[in-house]
Amino acid sequence: MALLPIKKRHFTLTSSDNGCFLGEVTRSPVGTAALTIHARTDTAITSEVAAPRLLSTLNTLRGEVSLAVPLHFMEIVSIALPAMPDGAVGKALPYHLAKAVNRPLADFIYDWQIVERHRDRLQVTVYLFPAAKFLSLRTEFSRKHLDIKYLEADVFAAFSFLAKENRLRPDTATLCALIWRNSISLAVYENCLLTLVRTVSASQPQNAPVHALNDQPPTVSDEPSPVAAAHLESGEEDSLLAGFDILSGAISPQPTASDANNAAPVDTTWADYLQHIGLEIMRTRDYYASVVKGGAIKRAVIGGAESFWPGLQRWGRTSLELELEPLTTLPETADCPPMLQAIAIGTGTRG
């Protein structure tokens, strides 16, 4: 008698600044994906105690795991390489990357993507994650027979989710902004590539969103808000190019998970915060048009803004002249926030 093949189980590990979630993605015969959360904990995955706590209540599961983390958990570097066949990039990259980072390359695991092709050069974006942390996670999860096979930034998983829902058109530029408690991950997708990726600091106000945000959208003033001004001044004055990792030949300092968790509260209003989000979307859009020479961005997909969505959406229409749409309409559950659900499904359907 022929034995039936054992169905491979695929799990997802997603993290925010203040929690991580272990889920399992299953697919129906028609291709739709469903997410089941098996465990969660209230610490970021980069914390030493996160994995033991997450796994402590689980029986042996067996399967492969995809890990997706906020972009600011990684370090990003843009490298210009001489023109060469794509197959040679992997061999040439370590030499050039070692000169661009300020620590031994062995301290990282990394992945890369060619984002621009010119006659005489290639522009490559590299995503780096601490090797010691990744190996520690693999060791912890292997004790439950869970093998971490994939690691990616949140924006890649988000665009994978959008692709699964047939919401992307390869020839049309789409901007995605994922709003975390202390940062925003931004990326532009065009021609089946994430052609621009950046992360910026942005701390949410400590108080809950006020109802007034739903009634009166903030407007762009001639002067940046206090939050935006602090961000702009930390880069290269008020230059449009300030803060864009793609300009740098070395890694731009990014906040770590511990920095995010210990960040001092910012004394700002929700109106200031919405303006900060809007300005960063505007900067990304304008840079993409004027410097990258990419297609016109007329739509932006936003994740993590459920609690202040009406005000942000109206901000986009009046001040950005962009139509904003939510990353997902998945319902809020006690197990996992909607944006984390979407990211988990996105990364979990790659295997």
Same domain, 61 and 186: yes
What pLDDT, in 10s, does the model give residues 23-80? 999 887 776 788 999 999 999 999 999 999 999 988 878 899 999 999 999 999 999 9
pLDDT attached to residue 140 = 94
Q: Quote the domain boundaries for residue 103.
A: 73-127
Q: What angle do CA 285, 289, 291 make, to 5 degrees?
A: 110
State the average pLDDT over residues 114-119: 90
162 and 85 within one domain: no
Q: Which tens digit of pLDDT belongs to each residue from 194-232?
A: 999 999 999 999 887 865 454 444 444 433 333 332 232
H helices of 72-130, in order, are 86-100
One domain for residues 159 and 40: yes
Predicted confidence at residue 3, as pLDDT, reads 53
Task: Indicate if 134 and 232 belong to the same structural domain.
Answer: yes
Model pLDDT for residues 296-307, shown as the tens digit of each residue: 998 899 999 999
In a domain, 151, yes or no: yes
Identify whether 3 is part of a domain: no
Q: Is the pLDDT of residue 159 over 70?
A: yes
Within this chain, do residues 17 and 153 fall inside the same structural domain, yes or no?
Answer: yes
Percent of the chain scoring above 70 in pLDDT: 80
Q: Which of 63, 95, 127 is the last residue of a domain?
A: 127
Q: Is 165 contained in some domain? A: yes
Residue 243 shares a structural domain with residue 318? yes
Quote the pLDDT of residue 235. Answer: 33
Say if 305 falls within a structural domain. Answer: yes
User: For all residues of the chain together, what is the average pLDDT?
Assistant: 82
Q: Tell me: do 203 and 171 sit in the same domain.
A: yes
The answer on pLDDT for 189 being more than 90 is yes
Domain membership flag for residue 306: yes
Kindly provide the b/e burial profile for residues 267-290, where b requires at least 16 CB atoms within 10 angstroms of the residue's own CB.
ebbbbbbbbbbbbbbbbbbebbee
Residue with token string 């904990």: 41
Residue 315 has a pLDDT of 81
Let me know if residue 81 belongs to a domain. yes
In angstroms, the CA 276 to CA 71 distance is: 18
- Are 159 and 117 in a shared domain? no
pLDDT, one tens digit per residue, over 73-116 is: 999 999 999 999 999 999 999 999 999 999 999 999 999 999 98
Q: Looking at the structure, tell me whether residues 80 and 67 fall in a common domain.
A: no
245 and 110 share a domain? no
Q: What are phi and psi of 76, to 5 degrees?
A: -125, 135
pLDDT value at residue 320? 82
pLDDT higher than 50, residue 137: yes
pLDDT of residue 6: 60
Q: How many domains is the chain built from?
A: 2
* Residue where a domain stops, chosen among 86, 109, 127: 127
Give the pLDDT confidence score for residue 283 in this predicted structure: 95
Distance CA 186, CA 201 (A): 11
Instruction: Give the C-alpha separation, 47 to 196, whole Å.
Output: 29
Q: Does some domain include residue 328?
A: yes
CA–CA gap between residue 349 and residue 68 (Å, rounded): 12
What pLDDT is attached to residue 58? Answer: 87
pLDDT digits (tens, 9 = 90+) for 263-287: 444 446 888 999 999 999 999 999 9
Whole-model pTM?
0.82
Confidence at residue 258, expressed as pLDDT on a 0 to 100 scale: 40
**Per-residue confidence (pLDDT) for residue 4, from 0 to 100:** 53
Q: Is 265 helix (H, G, I), strand (E, B) or coil?
A: coil
**Are 201 and 298 in the same domain?**
yes
Closest CA to 77 of 125, 129, 113, 111: 125
Which is more confident, 317 or 326?
326
Please say which residue of 85, 107, 127 terminates a domain: 127
In a domain, 337, yes or no: yes
In the block, residue with structure tokens 């066949």: 85
Does 244 lie in the same domain as 115?
no
